[in-house]
Amino acid sequence: MTSSRCARSIANLGVASALTMLLGACTGFSLSPSTPMQSEAPVEPEVPSTIRPEDLVGKWGLAAYNNPNDRARTEKMALAQCKQPYTIGQGTSGGVIMHLADQATPQELRLKGSAGGKNYIGPAGPPGGEQDREVISFDGRVLITRFVDKDAATRYQTMVYVRCGPRA
C-alpha cells in the first residue's frame, strides 16, 4: 500500500468518525449509561367531579344568556321550556347522555373534575378540552354551563338548565 493511499484511508476513517459523532449528537444517542433518559411530562391524575352523573339525569328546561344580568330572567325562561324538556340520560359507562356542540346525536359524556376545583362535562380526555362544557354552577335544581371552545361559547352562550319537576 502506498503512503498516499494509506493517508487517504486514514482521512476517510477520520471523516467517518467525525460524522458518526455528529450524528450521535443530533439524535441524543449516548453510549454512557450514566446519562439520564428524557421522559415525557407527567400525566395529571384524574380528579373526580364533585357532581355525580345521577344528579343530572332527568328532564330540564333549557335557555341561554349572554349578559350575566339576564340570569334570573333566563332561569324563568328555561322553566317555561319544561313543556318541551331537554332530557339528560344515564350513560352505560357511568356518564350522561347529552349533545356536544353542533352534534345532532347525543352521546355519552363524562363528568370530570380538575385540580383547580372546576367541573366539566365532555368526552373522554383531560378536563377543559375544546369539546367540554365548564360547569359554572350547580345547586341540584339549576345547572349553568358554558362551552370551553370560544366559538361554541359565542354561539350557544351561557346555558341554563332548570330541573322540570322532582329528580328522576
% the chain with pLDDT above 90: 70
Per-residue pLDDT tens digits for 63-98: 999 999 999 999 999 999 999 999 999 999 999 999
pLDDT surpasses 70 at 42: no
Residue ranges with strand state E in the chain:
58-65, 86-90, 96-98, 107-113, 119-122, 133-138, 142-147, 158-163
- Amino acid (1-letter code) at residue 118: K
Q: What is the mean pLDDT of residues 54-70?
A: 97
Q: Rounded CA gap, 97 and 76, in Å?
A: 24
pLDDT value for 9: 55
Determine the average pLDDT of the residues in 24-43.
51
pTM: 0.72
Q: What percent of the chain has pLDDT over 70?
A: 72
> What dihedral do alpha carbons 43, 46, 47, 48 form, nearest 10°?
170
Kindly list the distances between the CA atom of residue 162 and the CA atoms of 27, 32, 55, 87, in Å, as whole numbers in the listed order.
Answer: 58, 64, 13, 11
